[in-house]
Amino acid sequence: MSALAREIKVTLTCKTLPSLDEPADVGLQDKDQNVYAGNRKRDGAMAFECVVLMKDKGNGNIDFAGPFVHGTAAARFMYLSWKRAAPATAALWVQRVKIPLAFTAADLGDATAIRADITGRRPHASEAIAWTMS
Position 12 scores a pLDDT of: 98
Residue 99 has pLDDT above 90, yes or no: yes
Q: What is the pLDDT confidence band of residue 5, given thresholds at 50, 70 and 90?
A: low
pTM, full prediction: 0.92
Give the pLDDT confidence of 43-92 residue by residue, as tens digits.
999 999 999 999 988 898 999 999 999 999 999 999 999 999 886 667 88
DSSP states along the chain:
-TTS-SEEEEEEEESS----SS-EEEEEE-TTS-EE--EE-TTS-EEEEEEEEEEEEETTEEEEESTT-EEETTEEEEEEEEEESS-TTS-SEEEEEEEE---BHHHHTT-SEEEEE-TT--TT--SPP-EEE-
